[in-house]
Structure 1
Amino acid sequence: MHEFAYEELEEATQNFSATHLIGKGSHGSVYKGVLRDGRIVAIKTQSLGLQKLQDNSKLDNEVRILSSLPKASKCLINIIGISHDSFSNKVLVMEYLPNGTLHDFLHLSPTPPAWPKRIEIAVQIARAVQVLHERKPSVIHRDIKASNILFDEIWDAKLADFGLATEMASDSSSQRGDSTCRPAGTIGYLDPCYTSPHKLSVKNDVFSFGVVLLEIISCSKAIDVNRVPATIVHWAMLLIDENRILDLCDKRLAPARHMEPMILHVVNIALRCVSPKPYNRPTISEIVTDLQICLVEPTRFPIWMTSFFRGIIFLQKKRRKIGTKRYKTTTTIVCAAHEASKQVDISSKKLLLREILADATLR
């Protein structure tokens, strides 16, 4: 890990001037800086409170986690180096991502992102989480939210801010987390099942990703006090209970008829992610596979599939109402590049809808 002279970082940011400030949170601030070699970087400092306590734990954790992840990953923010001020407070030097956050793109941009771009963003975020969850032991980000997803110069999404990230105590399927790891996250994105350290699971991240997915679809904030209900998950469930599924879509960008099956497919993925029962939530690998279907031209989704996906959501809603003891719904969607393989070949766009089965059986 490269160690920068603190004086160079002061020079790069004009002594951490407010004119260089590009982001601020409860744990610290991020400044845009230009190094002596001409590189533009993001420089992350701790909050004044943490500096007074000389508490480097958040930034130490971020360095440790990011350093342990694959260097070639294009969907995670890269750390370039570190530094320390005269009081031994740590400072991080990160890659600079010039196009802001997903939160700003969705809620502040005058031009709403097109549906294909939204799906592309969703896939990129899912792949970032997949990198974390497939590491041994699995890494749980614990703070997946729209403001922690940044865009590079070509508008590819990258997951950032690993200050709350932690490792599973054992394999990725374990529900047992570090006993010293208290539940943490952002209200609105935080899994309501994550109430104690032993409830730490990769499914916590899956819930947060589902909230982000609903946000991408609707351009509605995760928490909005002017909306009833205020949380996006309860608001989405209410619309579905009223059979107003497409009302979840961003009103500024009405979906074309041929896009409806794709959007309903994504809504179905989001609903599975935010299931109140963690064991009903898909793995991130399943989510990536399901979302990649949507990267193919919308024409690959026949119009009749609108009714199919509406049916899936309807059956899920019915299951919630009458309970799983009397009513069981099984839905299987398997995609393969060809009959002999279950791999999805997106580059050649050779997707075969191998099996579509929706069974509802009363017990």
Structure 2
Amino acid sequence: EWTRAFAATTSTIVVAVKRLHLDLGAMYRDREAITLLTDHPNLVKCFDSTVDPPYLVVTEFCAGGSLFDLLYNSKQQLTTRQIVKILVDVAAGMRCLHTHKPCILHRDLKSSNVLLTKPIRSPAQEPFAKVADFGLARTTEDLQLSWAHMTVGVGTWRWMAPEVFEMEENTNYNERID
């Protein structure tokens, strides 16, 4: 477990606060800062982060939890309409990342990194999904720097694109890996 998240309340809104392990603090904050470059309804908004320990990242709070929890830890069955709506929401968020200049690669898209704004409690309820967790994200602009070539095998292996497994170290790849 790289982070620990909890809800907090400001004077006006409820936010999620992630506490990062010390050694991951700088790297993760840099990646979460990518969301400061984008403003899209299907991306979890990053509000702020600390520069000194304890390393914290403050993001939008999504009360519905993760898609993973809904699929595997809930008795609520999704309708075809709800499934399609979630897929469209995720595709819209990823399109925003991929069409951003420079292109942003998420590199860890999976059901636990898709959050729902509200709990789904009935077949009639319309879900609203957001792509979250930009801790492994990179921009294609980063690729122009010698130290920032894409790493082989980054992400969660079960959901990793096959070409990421097969590439040699320091090889560049593009948005198709998401």
TM-score by length of 2: 0.83
Consecutive aligned runs of 4 or more in structure 1 exceeding 6 Å deviation: none
1:101–1:149 Cα contact (<8 Å) kept: yes
1:31–1:42 Cα contact (<8 Å) kept: yes
Distance in 1 between residues matched to 2:101 and 2:25, nearest whole Å? 28
Relative distance call for 1:129 and 1:178 in structure 2 (3 A) is farther
Which one of 107, 127, 134 corresponds to residue 162 of structure 1? Answer: 134
Q: Which residue is 1:32 aligned to?
A: 7
Please state how far the C-alpha of 1:110 moved relative to its aligned partner: 0.7
The secondary structure found in structure 1 opposite 2:101 is: coil
Post-superposition Cα deviations, 1:255-297, rounded to whole Å, max 9, x if no partner, equal: xxxxxxxxxxxxxxxxxxxxxxxxxxxxxxxxxxxxxxxxxxx
Q: Which residue is 1:138 aligned to?
A: 103
Larger radius of gyration between Structure 1 and Structure 2: 1
1:75–1:128 Cα contact (<8 Å) kept: yes
State the AA in 1 paired with 2:135: G
1:54–1:89 Cα contact (<8 Å) kept: no
Distance in 2 between residues matched to 1:117 and 1:178, nearest whole Å? 42
TM-score by length of 1: 0.43
Distance in 1 between residues matched to 2:145 and 2:176, nearest whole Å? 15
Q: Which residue is 1:67 aligned to?
A: 36
Distance in 1 between residues matched to 2:6 and 2:82, nearest whole Å? 28
Which one of 160, 168, 174 corresponds to residue 190 of structure 1? Answer: 160
Relative distance call for 1:202 and 1:56 in structure 2 (3 A) is same
Post-superposition Cα deviations, 1:220-269, rounded to whole Å, max 9, x if no partner, equal: xxxxxxxxxxxxxxxxxxxxxxxxxxxxxxxxxxxxxxxxxxxxxxxxxx
Distance in 1 between residues matched to 2:68 and 2:155, nearest whole Å? 16
Q: Which residue is 2:177 aligned to?
A: 204
Post-superposition Cα deviations, 1:4-57, rounded to whole Å, max 9, x if no partner, equal: xxxxxxxxxxxxxxxxxxxxxx3211111122x15211001112xxx1x47411
Q: Which runs of 5+ in 2 are unaligned?
A: 119-125
Q: Which residue is 2:115 aligned to?
A: 150
Please state how far the C-alpha of 1:58 moved relative to its aligned partner: 1.2
Per residue, is there more helix in 1 or in 2? Answer: 1
Alignment root-mean-square deviation, CA: 2.1
Q: Does 1:94 align with 2:72?
A: no
Alignment of 1:329-344 (within 5 A): none
Identity across aligned pairs (percent)?
A: 25
The structure, 1 or 2, with the larger RCO (C-alpha pairs under 8 Å, 6+ apart) is 2
2:29–2:49 Cα contact (<8 Å) kept: no
Q: Which residue is 1:42 aligned to?
A: 16
1:177–1:201 Cα contact (<8 Å) kept: no
The secondary structure found in structure 2 opposite 1:67 is: helix
The secondary structure found in structure 2 opposite 1:77 is: coil
Aligned residues: 165
Q: Which residue is 1:129 aligned to?
A: 94
Distance in 1 between residues matched to 2:25 and 2:79, nearest whole Å? 43
Q: Which runs of 5+ in 1 are unaligned?
A: 1-25, 171-175, 206-363
Post-superposition Cα deviations, 1:288-308, rounded to whole Å, max 9, x if no partner, equal: xxxxxxxxxxxxxxxxxxxxx
Post-superposition Cα deviations, 1:78-137, rounded to whole Å, max 9, x if no partner, equal: 11223355xx34311111100011111112221210011101110110111100110112
Please state how far the C-alpha of 1:68 moved relative to its aligned partner: 1.2
